[in-house]
A and B are shown apart, each in its own frame.
Chain A
Amino acid sequence: MTGTHMSAIAEAPAAAATADARKAGDWLLVATAILLCVWVLLPIYLLIVNALSSPQEVTAFPKRFFPSFDIGSLTFFINFAGVARALWNSVLVATLTMILSIGFGAPAGYALSRFDFPGKETFRFLVLMTRAFPLPLLALPLAVMFIRTGLDDTAIGLALVHTTLALPFAVLITFSLFSGIPVELEEAAWTLGCTRWQAFRKVILPLALPGIAASAVFAFTISWNEVFAAAVLTIENRTLTAFLLQSLGESPLYLKFAGGAALVVPALIFIFAVRKYLFAMWGIANR
């Protein structure tokens, strides 16, 4: 009797201590999470502050930590010789990359998810191998090949190189996408008289479309952000990244920061749009 009483008394502070420790742990967790968010967001905020300040404010010292919402830097950037064209080229190349990588990648992803056939592992290996190489370097030998074939300094030529970067992701994400759609749905459509193509178009495609759109957006982002191959392969038709890289030496600060913001803001929107699919793109490499 006394024994149980004693242990009950001893347990109460112990339980309280565990609860305290847990509470402290929770606080620590939240504080760490907030700190890490600040680490990611603060530098972007500072770039945006610069982009939304007048050229005089950008080069002045000391600086203010809040934007004056002056669009002087941005208008200077947009009107700067070559910028509008570079923006257009970036969009064009990224759109072509998107079309090519989905056009080539989605059928492959479907085949990997639905069929077992000899050579499947070889193909998967080929796709995964592309990740183990610094792909932009391949732009160097391609530069010569493109001059011979007339693809040099064209949007399609650069888009082909960017597609080697984006294609593996397109294959892997569509693979995981189609794997997540039960085969039974397709089989049901076949028994109801659909051909293979009809079943795909009427049953599978509507289900897979959001994911395919996400991997298209991701392909667009890869191309939009790529610097090295873009700078190697374009001269007259420079993309925004190539333009900014090659004018780094001489361009004024406010041009750089406005350009940086022009690169970052669309990327933020793209990543937000595909956030649900990030794991399909990267996680699958675990197996």
Chain B
Amino acid sequence: MNGKALPYLLLMPATLFLCVFFLYPFALVAFEAFTRDGAFTLDNFRTMAGSWKFPATVRNTLLLAAIVVPIQLAMALLMASVVSRLETGRSAALYIFAIPLGISDLAAGLIWLAIFDQSGFLNTLLSDLGIVDRPIMFLGYQSKLSIFIAVVLAEIWRATAIMMVILVAGMGLIPREYHEAAEVFGASPWKRFVRITLPLLRPSLQTAIILRVILAFEVFAVVAALGGTNLPVLMGETFNWQFTLQDRNVAAASALLILAISIGFTLLFLRVLRVPREARI
């Protein structure tokens, strides 16, 4: 066989597949968002933005991301530092920290439902300790704040693992000599972390933050399991437009909004955390 054609032949199935099931629906969703009955219109966006839930939906989604992602970043850095410094039990710790990576967001929501439900484990603990007499309704429609806190905790629990794995891989790329040199000059562990690990970890930090922020805008099943419709988020409303309200053009507009926010933040973090080519290891 012609050696020049072989790589293209091998790439062909994957490329064709991505064109049909990634690029094409992507174009289609944009087309549907801007049309109704075949004519160009911005009505779909107006309908979406005109819904009484819309302001709360956008606010909840952005607020969730703004609270969850920084906490996760800190926790992922902590987990990655612990893993890279442990001498015994390193692989066990790594496996345990990575477990949530394999757990569905719906399952994560149900796991935290077991804790926050009215007859759940948190209420049991509080009443065992004598703090409350009667179980508190954490997830009722009147307790938006505690629903929000439950979702934040469930999201932190569920999706820190992704960042942790990326950061552990990144820390593995930093040559040991830098740390040893700093130690010889008397730098404390904290100083070594701030002056050596963090700057050299920048490419991994960039990847981890971008991936995580995109996932944060996709939050859906965790909220559905814990808050039902009491805490509207963008992805959930998109689902509502498609299913409950049976309007796929507005659903497409909503989807396009999520895509636009995701792309906007991706570009922002690519720029803010840019790594000059010559500074890469």
Q: A249: which of B15, B17, B110, B228 is its contact (CB, 8 Å)?
A: B228
Q: Is A231 close to B, CB under 8 A? A: yes
> Is the CB–CB distance between A63 and B255 below 8 Å?
no
Which residues of A lie under 8 Å from residue B262 when comparing CB positions?
132-134
A97 CA to B78 CA in the complex, in Å? 35
Q: How far is the CB of B208 from chain A (nearest CB, A)?
A: 9
> Is the CB–CB distance between B29 and A37 below 8 Å?
no
A63 CA to B135 CA in the complex, in Å? 11
Q: Is B11 close to A, CB under 8 A? A: yes
A244 CA to B105 CA in the complex, in Å? 12
Q: How large is the interface on B (under 10, 10 to 19, 20 to 34, 35 or more residues)?
A: 35 or more
> Is the CB–CB distance between B82 and A43 below 8 Å?
no
Q: Report, nearest first, the 3 A-B pairs whose CB atoms are least far apart.
A: A283-B169, A260-B110, A225-B104
> Is the CB–CB distance between A164 and B165 below 8 Å?
no
Q: Is A138 close to B, CB under 8 A? A: yes
Number of inter-chain CB pairs below 8 Å:
281
> Is the CB–CB distance between A40 and B107 below 8 Å?
no
Q: How large is the interface on A (under 10, 10 to 19, 20 to 34, 35 or more residues)?
A: 35 or more
Q: Is B41 close to A, CB under 8 A? A: no
| CB-CB nearest in chain B for A128 | B207
Q: How far is the CB of B154 from chain A (nearest CB, A)?
A: 8
> Is the CB–CB distance between B238 and A40 below 8 Å?
no
A286 CA to B201 CA in the complex, in Å? 10
> Is the CB–CB distance between B17 and A60 below 8 Å?
no
Per-residue B-contact encoding for A129-147, CB less than 8 Å = 1, 0 else: 0111111111011111100
Q: A134: which of B91, B135, B217, B224 is its contact (CB, 8 Å)?
A: B217
> Is the CB–CB distance between A282 and B111 below 8 Å?
no
Q: A108-B13, A260-B106 are in contact. List 7 more A-B contacts (CB 8 A).
A: A33-B82, A33-B93, A47-B114, A62-B127, A137-B258, A256-B113, A268-B99
Which residues of A lie under 8 Å from residue B85 when comparing CB positions?
29
Q: Is A46 close to B, CB under 8 A? A: yes
Which residues of A lie under 8 Å from residue B238 when comparing CB positions?
137, 140
A138 CA to B20 CA in the complex, in Å? 11
Q: How far is the CB of B102 from chain A (nearest CB, A)?
A: 4
Q: How far is the CB of B274 from chain A (nearest CB, A)?
A: 14
> Is the CB–CB distance between B79 and A275 below 8 Å?
no
Q: How far is the CB of B204 from chain A (nearest CB, A)?
A: 5
Q: Is A221 close to B, CB under 8 A? A: yes
**Known A107-B14, A142-B21, A160-B21; contact A32-B221, beta-carbon cutoff 8 A:** no
Which residues of B lie under 8 Å from residue A163 when comparing CB positions?
17, 21
Of A41, A135, A138, most B-chain CB atoms within 10 Å: A138
Sampled A-B contacts (18; CB under 8 Å): A43-B157, A44-B111, A63-B124, A108-B11, A114-B7, A120-B7, A137-B255, A141-B25, A141-B29, A142-B21, A167-B14, A221-B102, A248-B228, A256-B113, A263-B103, A263-B107, A263-B110, A275-B95
> Is the CB–CB distance between A279 and B165 below 8 Å?
yes
Which residues of A lie under 8 Å from residue B224 when comparing CB positions?
245, 248
